[in-house]
Chain A
Amino acid sequence: MILVNYDKILKFQFNGKHYEGYEGDTLASALLRENVKVVGRSFKYHRPRGIFGSGSEEPNALVKLEGSNTHEPNRRATSIKLYDGLKANSQNYIGNVKFDILALNDYIHPFISAGFYYKTFMWPKSFWEKVYEPIIRRAAGLGTLSTEPDPDRYDKGYLHCELLIVGSGPAGLKMALDASRNGKKVILVDEDFIMGGQLLSNEIDINGSSSLQWVEQTLSELRNSSNVRIMTRTSVYGVYDHGIYGALETVTDEIERPGARQILWRIYANKSVLASGATERPIAFPNNDRPGVMLASAVQTYNKRFDVKCGDNISLFTNNSGANLSKISNLIDTRDGSHIVNVHGRNLIRSITLNSGKKINSDCLAVSGGWNPNLQLTCHKRGRPKWNEKLSCFVPDNSNLPNNMYVIGSANGSFSTQSVFNDVSDLSEQLGYRITEKIKTEDNPLNLKPFWFVKSKKRSWVDFQNDVTVKDITLAHQEGFSSVEHVKRYTTLGMATDQGKTSNVIGLAVLADATNKTIPETGTTIFRPPYTPISIGAFAGAHKGKHFKPIRLTPSHEFASENGATFVDTGYWKRAQWFSQDKEVTWRDSVDREVLMTRNSVGICDVSTLGKIDIQGKDAGKFLNKIYINTFSTLKVGKCRYGLMLREDGIAMDDGTSARLSETHYIMTTTTAKAGSVYSHLEFCRQVLFPNMDVHIISTTDQWAQFSIAGPNARNLLSKIIDPSFNISNETFPYMACAEITICSGVRARIFRLSFSGELAYEISVPSRYGDALIRKLISAGKEFNVTMYGTEALGVMRIEKGHAAGNELDGRNTPVNLGLSGLMAKKKDYIGKTLSSREKLSGNETMVGFLSVNPSDKLTNGSHFVNIGDKILPENDQGHMSSVAYSPILERYIGIGFLKNGKDRYDETLKAIDFLQNNHVEVKVVSPHFIDPNGDRLRA
C-alpha cells in the first residue's frame, strides 16, 4: 500500500511561493515537508499559528483556496487533498502572515478579553455605527467570502443500504467485512481520501500481518464485493429521522473543474454503525498555541503516513500512555509530576520551560491530553453522552442513541485495538451475523491521569480557532456565566468551523475547576448537525440560476416570442405581459393599443395558465355546492357560472367559473396563482371532509390550451374556425353558455362564453398540442378584423375597467361582503366558510368601490390609503386602501378600485388618496367599480 507516491510530483503555491508535494499528500503534510511552519493567524489576537492536527479537528490551518476568479475561505489544510496547480493563501492578517499588522491585538490583550466588545465600545453611543462596528467587522470573521458567483457544479444524490458504516479505521473495516460476508448491502464512508483510519499511522500486528497489509487485504475484498459501496472523502454530517443520514462527498477540491465538485448524499439506512474513532485533545499551558506545538497523534500521522518529520528535536507532553511516538528527545509526563510552564519562540518554538525550572530546547512539542470519542452523530437525535471517569472522556450513552445506530471502537471508548475488534465481534453477533474471522492484535489499555491545564498568569489556549484562553473561561465564571451554555456564548468557546473538536472538553474541565464541580456536574454541550462545515453550494445543488425553479411555458409561448412579447413570471409560468410593435417605445404604448384594438374589434389572450380542474361523479354538483358560496347543482348542462369559494374561516380563497358539460361532469377554472392550492383544497374536501360523495377530480391545467377571444368581432372571428355543424349565434349560444365542439375540420375543442374584459368574449380550449397551431390560425383568420394579441397588462386594465376582483382584491383579507358579492351567498345550503363568514365583525364595513382622480391628469397609485378631506394623515383616520389601478385608454385617465369604509354609500364623495412611498397624494372621487358597460350590454351582444 503506497501512501505517498514519490514518483508523482504535484506543484502548488502557498502565499505566493512555489512548493512541491506528492500524490498522497494533504496540503498540510506537503507544507510541513516543505518546512512551512506559520500557516495562518489567529482570529482575535492575530498570533502566528501552525498546523496543529491532521484531520477535520484542525483548528489553526484554515486557508483560502484560490480559483482563477473566486476563492473558497476557511478550508482546513489538513483536509485538502493536494493537487497539481493548487493555490492557497493564509487568512486573518493584514500585511504578511509572518508580520501581521493586526498582531497589535496581541499586545493589547488585557483589553480584549472575553466579551470585550460588550463592555468597551459603549460610548459615545454615536460611535458604534460609524466607527466601532466597521472596524470590528473588518477585523472579525474567519476568512472572507468571494463575492463572485460560485463557478462550480454541485450535485445531490440518494442512496439506500442495510448498513451504513461511518469511519474506516479497524472498527469500520472489520464491520464492513462481517456485514459484506453476510450478504448485507453496505455503504462504508470515510472523510479521508484513503481508508484505514488510524491503521495508516500506527504499525500494529493484526493476525500476523502488518496493519497496512491488513487494510489492503480487507479493502481489496470489500472492493470486490458487489454489495459494498466504498465512499472516500465523504463526511456524514447529520443524522435525521427514521434512518436518514446526510453526507457530503468531496469529489475534488479544485475550483472550476468540469463535473460536480461536491455531492450531497441523502442516505437511507436500515441500520448504522458509528466507527468514527476518537480525537486527541491537547493540554492548555502558557503559549501552547505557538507553531511547533502539535497533537501527538498528528506528529505520529505525519511521520508514519506521510513520511514527514515535524521537527528535529521532538518533545512529548502527555498525561497518558496512548501516544506511541518513536524518536522522542524529551518526555514530559504529568503522571510523573512534571509539566510545562512556558513555551518560547514566536514563529516556531525554540524551547520549553518545565515546572522544575529546567529549560529544554525543542522545535516540535507533541501534546496528548487524552482522547475524545467522536460521538457527535450520537447527539443529533437529542442523545446526551455520559462521562466515563476511568477514560476521562464523554462516551455515547447507549440508552439514548439515534434509532438503529450502534457505536463501536474508540468512538465507543474502546481504545486498544483488540477492544475495537472485540466491539465488532460483539455487534456482529448481536446483529446475527456469522463471524468468519477472529482477530488478535495489540491490547494495551489506556492509562491516563487527568491533567487539563497548567495554572498560570500567562495565557493558555483552550480554543485555538476562537482565541479562547483559560483566563477567558475563568473570567466568564467570575462575571456570573456559570452554565456551560452561557460560557460558550460569552467566550465563543467551541464555535466556528471546528465546533470545538479539540477544545470543548478542556473548556468544560476549566469551568469545572472554577466552579469546584466535577465535569459531569458541570455539564456537556451536545452536538447538532453539521459535523463538518457544508458549503451552501452543496445544499443548493443544481438548483441555481435558471434551474432554481421549473419554468412553465404557455402553448403560445413560441408564437408570443416571435411577436414581440415581454414575459412576466407568474409563479412558474412565463406569461406574455405585452406585445411591442414597431414604433412603440414604452410598455404603455403597447398596452393602450392592445386594449383599444380589443374593445374596438377583437383581441386574443392566452389564458391557459388558469387552473382547470376536471370534476366528475354522481355527486359532482353536490360537491361544488360545498366548495362555492353559490349553488352549482342547479346549473343547467351547457352553462357556466361564476363562483366564489371561501376558506373555512370565511375569507375569500379564490374565484372563477365552473362549466357543466354533463349531469356528472363539471370543469372548474381557478386563478393562475391559486391553481395548486385550490386543487389540494378540493382533494382535502373530497377525501377528508366528504369521503362518501361520489366525486373524482383531476387537474387538467397542462392538458388544455385555452385562449380568450374578446371584442365586438369575437364571434365573427370564431365562426371562421368552428366546424359548420356548430352554431354560436347569440340565440343558440348566449352569454355563459358552454359546449364541446370541433374546430378546423374535426379538432376537439371546448368553448365557453365568458368575459373577464366585459366585451363579447369566448374562451376556447383545445388539447395542448394544438395550442400553437390554433393561435397561428386565429391570428391569420383575424387579419380582416385587425385582430391583436394582448398580454396580462391589457387583461388587467380591462378587468379593472369592468370592475372585476382579481388577486389584489382576493388577498386573504376580504370576505364576500367586502367584495360586494354577498348576494351570491346561498342561504339554504351549507358550504365551506359559511358559518365563520357570518361573524359580524369579520367583514368590517369596507366594501369594494371605484375611484377616479378629481383632476383627470393625476396619476393614481396602488396601495394608497384614503383619508377624509381635512383629516390629518394618521392611521386612526384611515378610510381604506386602493387595491388596483390602471390607466384606462378608453376613459383616457387613471382609474382604480379599492376598499372603502361604507363605500357603497359614498359614491361621488371626494377623499384624499395618500401614498407616502411615491409621495403622491391625490384627491379622488368615489364611483361605482364598473367603469365600462355597467349593465353588461356589450358582453351579451
Chain B
Amino acid sequence: MIINHPLLGPRDSSEFTYRGDAVLLNRPDPNSESLLNDYYEYQYIRNNTHGFMKELWFHEQGDRSWLVVTRNTLTHEIIKVELASEYKRENK
C-alpha cells in the first residue's frame, strides 16, 4: 500500500507500523464518573469495520509521525491521511 503522508508525500506502507482503530485518540476523561467502564470500552471494545475506517499508523522508519489514515478495510482504498496531533486538536 501507499500512504500519502501529509508532510512527506506518498510513502510505501512498509515504512509504517500499524496500531489499529483511531478510537485510541479518545482516551477517556480521568475524572469521568463511569471511569472503569469508559476505560474498559476504550481498551477492549472495537468495531469490526467493513468499509472505511480511521486507523492509526506510525511512520516508524520515517519522520515518526503518528497518522490518522482513513482506509477501506475491504478494498484498501485510502481517502484521507492526517497528522494525528492535528486531527486531535481539530476534533476536540
Contact A680–B58 (Cβ < 8 Å): yes
B90 to chain A, nearest CB (A): 10
Number of A-B contacts (CB under 8 A): 66
Q: What is the minimal beta-carbon distance from A577 to any residue of chain B, in angstroms? A: 29
Does A839 sit at the interface, judged by CB under 8 A?
yes
Q: Do the beta carbons of B85 and A836 come within 8 Å of each other?
A: no
A242 and B39 contacting across the interface, CB-CB below 8 Å? no
Query: Known contacts being A649-B43, A688-B56, is A241 close to B84, with CB within 8 Å?
Result: no
Please tell me if A838 contacts chain B, counting CB pairs below 8 Å.
yes
Quick check: is A700 within 8 A (CB to CB) of the other chain? no
Please report which residues of chain B, range 23-69, place their CB below 8 angstroms from some CB of chain A when the two chains form the complex.
24-25, 27-28, 30, 35-36, 38-40, 42-43, 56, 58, 60, 64-66
* Cβ contact within 8 Å between B58 and A839: no
Which of A381, A684, A691, A838 touches B58 (beta carbons < 8 Å)? Answer: A684
Residue of A nearest to B92 (CB): A692
A723 vs chain B, min Cβ distance (A):
36
Q: Write out, one digit per residue, whether chain A residues 725-738 have a CB within 8 A of any chain B CB (1) or not (0).
A: 00000000000000
Question: Which A629-653 residues sit within 8 Å CB-CB of chain B?
Answer: 648-649
Chain A residue with Cβ nearest B66: A687
Q: Is A268 engaged at the interface, CB distance under 8 Å to the other chain? A: yes
Is B19 interfacial (CB 8 A cutoff)? Answer: yes
Answer yes or no: A802 CB below 8 A from chain B CBs: no
- Nearest CB in chain B to that of A830: its residue: B30
Are the C-beta atoms of A241 and B2 separated by less than 8 Å?
A: yes
* Residues of the B chain whose Cβ atoms lie less than 8 Å from the Cβ of A617: none
The reply to whether B30 and A692 contact each other, CB–CB distance below 8 Å, is no
| Cβ contact of A691, chosen from B2, B30, B84, cutoff 8 A | B84
Q: Does A683 contact B (CB under 8 A)?
A: yes
Taking a contact as CB atoms under 8 Å apart, the answer to whether A680 and B17 are in contact is: yes
- A241–B27 CB distance below 8 A: no
B89 touches A691 (CB 8 A): yes
A241-B76, A680-B17 are contacts. A687–B36 as well, Cβ < 8 Å?
no
A582 to B83, CA, bound (A): 58
Instruction: Say whether chain B's binding surface is mostly helix, strand, loop, or mixed.
Output: mixed
User: Once the chains bind, are B76 and A242 in contact (CB under 8 Å)?
Assistant: yes
Q: Given A680-B17, A838-B36, decide whether A242 and B88 contact each other with a Cβ distance below 8 A.
A: no
Q: How far is the CB of A622 from chain B (nearest CB, A)?
A: 14
Question: Which residues does chain B contribute within 8 Å of A830, judged by CB atoms?
Answer: 30
Confirm or deny: A767 has a beta carbon within 8 angstroms of a beta carbon on chain B.
no
Q: Is A835 located at the chain interface by the 8 A CB criterion?
A: yes
When C-beta atoms are compared, the residue in chain B nearest to A839 turns out to be: B36
CB closest chain-A residue, reference B67: A687
Interface residues of A in 662-715 (CB under 8 A from B): 680, 683-684, 686-689, 691-692
Q: What B residues does A834 contact at CB under 8 A?
A: 30
- Expressed in whole angstroms, the minimum distance between the Cβ of B1 and any Cβ of chain A is 4
Residues of A within 8 A of B36 (CB): 835-836, 838-839
- Which residues 1-27 of B have a CB within 8 angstroms of A? 1-2, 12, 17, 19, 24-25, 27
Q: What are the residues of chain A within 8 A of B43 when measuring CB–CB?
A: 648-649, 836
B24 touches A241 (CB 8 A): no
Q: Is the CB of A689 within 8 A of B27?
A: yes
Q: Judge whether A722 is part of the interface by a CB distance below 8 angstroms.
A: no
Chain A residues near B40 (CB-CB < 8 A): 836
A687 to B59, CA, bound (A): 12
How far is it, in angstroms, between the C-alpha of A835 and the C-alpha of B34 when the chains are bound? 11
Residues from chain B with a CB closer than 8 A to the CB of A689 are 25, 27
CA distance A835 to B31 in the complex (A): 10
User: How far, in whole Å, are A241 and B10 apart by their CA atoms in the complex?
Assistant: 13
The reply to whether B88 and A688 form a contact with Cβ atoms under 8 Å apart is yes
Residues on the B chain within 8 Å of A692, using CB: 89
Report the nearest A residue to B59, measured CB to CB.
Answer: A683
The minimal Cβ–Cβ distance linking B9 to chain A, given in whole angstroms, is 13
- Write out the residue numbers on chain B whose beta carbons fall within 8 Å of the beta carbon of A687: 65-66, 83-85, 88
CB closest residue in chain B, given A698: B64
A837 CB to nearest B CB, Å: 10
A:235-280 near B, CB below 8 Å: 240-244, 268
Contacting residue for B2 out of A268, A684, A835, CB 8 A: A268
Residues A835 and B58 in contact in the complex (CB < 8 Å), given A241-B76, A684-B19, A692-B89: no
CB-defined contacts of B35 to chain A, threshold 8 Å: 835
CA distance A268 to B9 in the complex (A): 14
What residue of chain A has the Cβ atom nearest to residue B3's Cβ?
A242
Q: How far is the CA of A836 from the CA of B89 in the complex (A)?
A: 26
Supposing A683-B58, A688-B84, A691-B89 touch, asked if A835 and B30 sit within 8 A by C-beta, the answer is yes
Chain A positions near chain B (C-beta within 8 angstroms): 240-244, 268, 381, 648-649, 680, 683-684, 686-689, 691-692, 830, 834-836, 838-839
Q: Name 26 interchain pairs, CB-CB below 8 A, sorted by A.
A: A241-B1, A242-B1, A242-B2, A242-B76, A242-B78, A244-B1, A648-B27, A680-B17, A680-B64, A683-B66, A684-B19, A684-B66, A687-B83, A687-B84, A687-B85, A687-B88, A688-B56, A688-B88, A689-B25, A691-B88, A691-B89, A834-B30, A835-B35, A835-B38, A838-B36, A839-B36
Please list the 9 inter-chain residue pairs (A to B) with the smallest Cβ-Cβ separation, ordered nearest first: A830-B30, A691-B85, A242-B2, A835-B39, A687-B66, A241-B1, A687-B85, A241-B76, A688-B84
Beyond the given A687-B84, A691-B85, A835-B30, please list 14 additional residue pairs across the A-B interface where CB-CB is below 8 A. Answer: A240-B1, A241-B1, A242-B1, A648-B42, A680-B58, A683-B64, A684-B58, A684-B66, A687-B66, A687-B83, A691-B86, A691-B89, A835-B35, A836-B39
Q: B residues near A, CB below 8 A?
A: 1-2, 12, 17, 19, 24-25, 27-28, 30, 35-36, 38-40, 42-43, 56, 58, 60, 64-66, 75-76, 78, 83-86, 88-89
